[in-house]
Amino acid sequence: MHAFGILVFMRGRAIPLLVLLAVLVNAAAARADEIRLKDGTKINGTIVGFENDSFRVETSYGFALIRKDKVADINISAAKNEPEPKAKPSTPPPPLPAAKPAPSPAVAKEPPPATNTPAAVNVSASERPTVAANASPASAKNEPVPVKTSAPPPASPAPPEPPVIRDEIRGNLYLNYTYGFQIYKPPSWDMIPEARKALPDAVAALGTFDQTTLLVIARTRAKDSLDGYAAATGKALSGVYENYRLISTRHTTIAGLPAVEQRSRGTADGRDWSVVMLTIVRGADAFTLLGMTWADSDIIQVQENVISKAVNSLTFVAP
């Protein structure tokens, strides 16, 4: 995942939406978070929640609470792929025994002074040098065998850049041309492009002007079955909200596809939220629709019904 800022600031109001989404869309993958404080200190760990205006971070030495007003920025990255083990170099064969060195011509007996016969005539056959005859084969056999070592595995290719999202609002419809779906947009909702810019996996974000009601649609590659993916995202959600309570889980059908709907309550950013999360697997894509509204609002039932209408209106069309 690309590096990005700490929070999504939406029209002056800071909501821990970014941390929530980062956990949801990467529920099945480990993350390495680097938190840089305003005084320059760096803390490495994994953000697992947000409580009492502070980030809950799991580090190698335990859990830590870091106040958000002390944080300069956070870099969140997907787990690195383990490098393939390097192949061991093949063991070279043992060297061949060295050939017995032939006697040097210098050891030949000196000729008697009384005769003019060349020295080579008086050298016995057993003492004749054999270096010339055997030099080439012996040297060839004694050449060291080159050891072939396997080349290091190629570096993993950089993840592709997220596609540019092409979308628009047409009346009371939100249309996403990149991923080929449309959804009902309540009249009081607007698009929130800051959320999508902060998190590449968020393909759409809508909500009320005061951000008391939000709907975020995230998309990632499906790595599990529908039930497995829903369970993973539900578990991640329980670690994000303080005082999390799962109210109901049911299987339903959205856009003609099987879906899992989970309704829950939890506290974030000092507020109690009513949350509905819908999980859909469509081919190689897994979509998460996360709707949130203030649970302590006088119009909570109205807002919950508005979220349900929007979520259930999802339809996939030709991109």
**Span 245-251, average pLDDT:** 96
Residue 10 has pLDDT above 50, yes or no: no
Degrees to nearest 5, angle at CA 219 with 67 and 254:
120
For 254-292, b where at least 16 C-beta lie within 10 A, e where not — what string?
bbeeebbbbbbebbbbeebbbbbbbbbbbeeebbbbbbb
Q: What is the pLDDT of residue 132?
A: 45
Say whether pLDDT at 36 is over 90: no
List, in order, residues 6 or more apart from 37 with CB less than 8 Å away.
43, 66, 70, 71, 72
Which residue has tokens 């956070």? 74
Residue 140 pLDDT: 45
pLDDT at 262 (0 to 100): 96
Residue 33's pLDDT is 73
Residue 271 to residue 176: CA distance in whole angstroms: 31
- The pLDDT confidence band at residue 124, using thresholds 50, 70 and 90, is very low
Which single residue is written with the structure tokens 């974000």? Answer: 205
The Cα 269–Cα 284 span in angstroms is 34
CATH superfamily of domain region 8-80+165-316: Mog1/PsbP, alpha/beta/alpha sandwich (3.40.1000.10)
* SS3 category, 151: coil
Does the reported pTM lie above 0.75?
A: no
> Residue 136: what pLDDT?
47
In whole angstroms, give the CA distance from residue 291 to residue 185.
Answer: 13
Q: What is the mean pLDDT of the chain?
A: 73
pLDDT digits (tens, 9 = 90+) for 281-292: 999 999 999 999
Domain range list for the chain = 8-80+165-316
